[in-house]
Structure 1
Amino acid sequence: MNKGLKCLLLSFAMSLASQAQAHMPGPAHCTRSANLLACVDVDGNAYSVNTVGTTLYLRGFEKDGHRYWAQTNSRFGQLTFFTGIASDGEAWVGYTRRVGWTTINRFSSSGGSSARFTCSRMTGC
């Protein structure tokens, strides 16, 4: 899985865990409406987040890999499941589980990447 995509997934996982706005690596220029956040970072990557109830729809473009991607996050209480696919055929699945101030995160991709990591508001990931 592309490093930029991993950072993006981690950033959104942390965002969901802390119930805060997304914090992306590096400065980005964003436009926001009631349900949509659209951003372009200094590297030329673009992404958007659309909220419908407890579901997040993420779309993006990675400049380095010249690929588009889409991800859907569905929240059920303290548990959030996500699935995604990229224009090069890579697919991924995972979940984020919130336990107090800690999140337990796991994902795997068809490209062979997988990880399990724990994040805390106090100590980070």
Structure 2
Amino acid sequence: MKIALKCSLLSLALLSWANAWGQIPALANCTRSANLLACIDAQGNTYSVNTVGSTIYLRGFEKDGNRYWAQTNSRFGQLTFFTGLASDGEAWVGYTRRVGWTTINRFSSSGGSSAKFTCSRITGC
């Protein structure tokens, strides 16, 4: 779950920052169209990010866990809610709130994981 969640949060960050930073080859090899970002990283994990209005659809494959996962994000102003499901039955929910260049993130999963963390575009997470 932690890898899938990190990939999905990284996907959101990449999608949000792609215009400013462009493709980041050290992290993943990505192909982008108008509303789709598809990536594969050095470990063989794959994921895609598709935007439709204010909704973001993420799908991926976690190589270490050998499982597929999907996540849907719904944005309401500076607040984004997300829910996800993996092929092994694990589910997760959470939110991300933007305050300036900082995001406040919270999630919990059916596997017992939960966390709250803050990220900044300048200092990272």
Using structure 1 for the length normalisation, give the TM-score: 0.86
In 2, Cα distance between equivalents of 1:70 and 1:81: 14
Q: Give the 4+ runs in structure 1 shifted more than 4 A.
A: 22-26
- Identity among equivalent pairs (%): 75
CA distance 1:6–1:25, change in 2 (3 Å): farther
CA contact (8 A) 1:14 1:119 kept: no
Q: Please, what is the CA RMSD of the aligned residues?
A: 2.2
SS of corresponding position for 1:5: helix
CA distance 1:83–1:14, change in 2 (3 Å): same
**1:15 Cα deviation from its structure 2 partner:** 4.5
Q: Deviations over 1:68-106 (max 9, x none)?
A: 000001100000000000000000000001112221110
1:58 maps to 2:58: yes
Matched letter for residue 123 of structure 1: T
2:17 pairs with one of 20, 24, 29: 20
**Residue correspondence of structure 1 range 1-125 to structure 2 within 5 A:** 1-2=1-2, 4-12=3-11, 14-15=13-14, 19-21=16-18, 26-125=26-125
How many pairs align? Answer: 122
Matched letter for residue 95 of structure 1: Y
Using structure 2 for the length normalisation, give the TM-score: 0.86
| Structure 2, unpaired ranges of 5+ | none
CA distance 1:38–1:10, change in 2 (3 Å): closer
Matched letter for residue 87 of structure 2: S
Matched letter for residue 9 of structure 1: S
CA contact (8 A) 1:8 1:24 kept: no
CA distance 1:25–1:90, change in 2 (3 Å): farther
| Structure 1, unpaired ranges of 5+ | none
Matched letter for residue 20 of structure 1: W
Query: More deviation in 4-13 or 38-47?
Result: 4-13
In 2, Cα distance between equivalents of 1:44 and 1:15: 18
Higher relative contact order (CA 8 A, sep 6+): 1
**1:60 Cα deviation from its structure 2 partner:** 0.3
